[in-house]
Amino acid sequence: MRLSLSPTPFVLLFLVVAPAVLADVAILRTDYYQKTCPDFNKIVREAVLTKQSQQPTTAAGTLRLFFHDCFLEGCDASVLIATNSFNKAERDDDLNDSLPGDAFDIVNRIKTALELSCPGVVSCADILAQATRDLVTMVGGPYFDVKLGRKDGLESKAHKVRGNVPMPNQTVHDIHGMFKKNGFSLREMVALSGAHTIGFSHCKEFSDRLYGSKADPEINPRFATALKELCKNHTVDDTIAAFNDVMTPGKFDNMYFKNLKRGLGLLASDHLLIKDNSTKPFVELYATDEKAFFDDFARAMEKLGTVGVKGDGEGEVRRRCDHFNNLNV
């Protein structure tokens, strides 16, 4: 019996079609800009060092901005787009209205510097990812690799935000549903929640735990008293905020998890992590073993940075991070 060495029509079809399909897949690597923008790492590092020293909340804000970007249709810098007469963008949805201006500012600063050094080369999505890592390590957090080569997305719709970004009054089950949709386990969800070891939340996000008949009796009493005093005028001034980690607010450590065991969780969703039997073991682990938290957080952040990334056929390298290259989009 003779075996034909000629490829079948199906195989020929695959060989012809496969390269076209694979062409749009983003291939990320840590040295992506080594030849095309050799000063990329240096420019990002110097910019975040300057900004963080000027405004110490930049690290937390940028980390939050990165998370909000990646959880809605991938890490494509769509959250950076400004609203125009044609489109209401993600950043102007109610759930994103408290994203801090310093986080947007650091990305724009870096983009400006990079456009002078290597114009049209570095995507805003890669800038946000790299700046987030550098800022996290700057405030004491773990180092993790950032693979590069993302393209900037071509869409940013405010109406798509709700249902894709966790809210402080949701259950563990509902929040995990969003994480699971993006490929994260329950343990990874708890590790990423540890980002609340830095930064702050506005009173409107937790005031229902403080006042009225539905006030949460499980908040540490002294903590609750202090928060009530802080937030007493929050309905008049919606900028009033409290640190997520009242003990070491500017340091990336495992204090967030220690606080949860003491009734010092700020958001309802934080407190639920220690109450829910499915997440409590991870909270207790991270509260006693900072290395375990750092290791899991670093791995989860590397994974987060690969969610829904865009390839050449799906995105662009924006000239400005707050505008699509086609201004009519």
Q: Which of 68, 176, 234, 271 is catalytic?
A: 68
Strand extents, DSSP E, the chain = 200-202, 241-243
Cβ distance 44 to 127 under 8 Å? Answer: yes
Amino acid code (one letter) for 77: A
Residue 24 counted as an annotated binding residue: no
Whether 196 has a binding-site annotation, put simply, is yes
69 is in an annotated binding site: yes
132 is an annotated ligand-binding site residue: no
Closest CA to 102 of 132, 70, 71: 132
Element (H, E) at 89: none
CA angle 66, 70, 75 (to 5 degrees): 95
Q: The dihedral of CA 29, 116, 75, 165: what is its sign? A: positive
- DSSP letter at 128 equals H
**101 labelled ligand-binding:** no
Helices (H), 219-278: 221-230, 255-261, 268-275
**What is the Cα–Cα distance from 113 to 37, expressed in whole angstroms?**
12
Euclidean distance between CA atoms 157 and 163, whole angstroms: 13
- What's the rounded Cα separation, in Å, for the pair 210 and 230? 11
Residue 93 annotated as binding? no
**Chain center to CA of 320:** 20
> Is 68 part of the annotated catalytic residue set?
yes
Angle between helices 58-70 and 124-138 (to 10 degrees): 140
74 assigned ligand-binding residue: yes
Q: Is 248 annotated as a binding residue?
A: yes
Number of H helices, E strands in the chain: 12, 2
Question: Helices 101-117 & 124-138, crossing angle to 10 degrees?
Answer: 120
Binding-site residue ranges for Ca(2+): 69, 74, 76, 78, 90, 197, 245, 248, 253
Question: Which residues are part of a known binding site for substrate?
Answer: 166
Q: Residues marked as binding for heme b?
A: 196
Feature table: binding site: 69, 74, 76, 78, 90, 166, 196-197, 245, 248, 253
Catalytic annotation, residues:
68
